[in-house]
Amino acid sequence: MQVSRSLGLALSSLAIAVAAAGCATRAMPAGAGAGLEIMEQHGVSYVSGGNDEAGMQSMQAITARFNVRLTMVDAGRGKPLGGATVVVASQEGRPVLHATASGPLFYMRLKPGAYRLAVGYQGRDQMRDIVVAGEPLDMTFRLPVNTLEDDWLLCGTTRCPRR
């Protein structure tokens, strides 16, 4: 549990550092794919989408432009999941990218090298060390999702106990 807190604090510190260091800018016109906007942050181009069939097709049309391609799915239901936070740092801890995925697909173009990648959803983060080299990296993150039902406590009686 202590290790989990330490990783969470490290990720939070990294996210704050990235946010303070700079904002994303548009790198290429949206014409790269219907409704897609390729962004750039700290020299890293990235794009996210795939919320519907047209979005999936648009993302597939530009897949070859990116060397790290992430897919996020609901771990319990296997359904596509948008809204995950993606944080990338160099092995030395230097912030590289901090963004929120607008859809279940998140593509980025990283320079060759070693990185720490963290993908999070609803306060739960998964970290991976990656090495970007010649071949593209395709990764799927199965993220646990709390639904509204998870937050309710159901009682098996029709009467509430008196205090």
CATH code, domain carrying 19: 2.60.40.10
More confident residue, 3 or 24: 24
* Structural domains of the chain, count: 1
Contacts with 150 (C-beta within 8 Å, 6 or more apart), sequence order: none
| The pLDDT of residue 155 is above 70 | no
Helix (H, G, I), strand (E, B) or coil at 151: helix
What pLDDT score was predicted for residue 32? 43
Q: Is residue 162 part of a domain?
A: no
Could you report the per-residue pLDDT of 115-130, keeping only the tens digit for each?
999 999 999 999 999 9
Domain that holds residue 115: 2-146
Strands 44-49 and 39-41: antiparallel
Question: Do 100 and 159 contact (CB within 8 A), yes or no?
Answer: no
Q: Is residue 6 part of a domain?
A: yes
| The pLDDT of residue 70 is above 90 | yes
Q: Is residue 158 part of a domain?
A: no
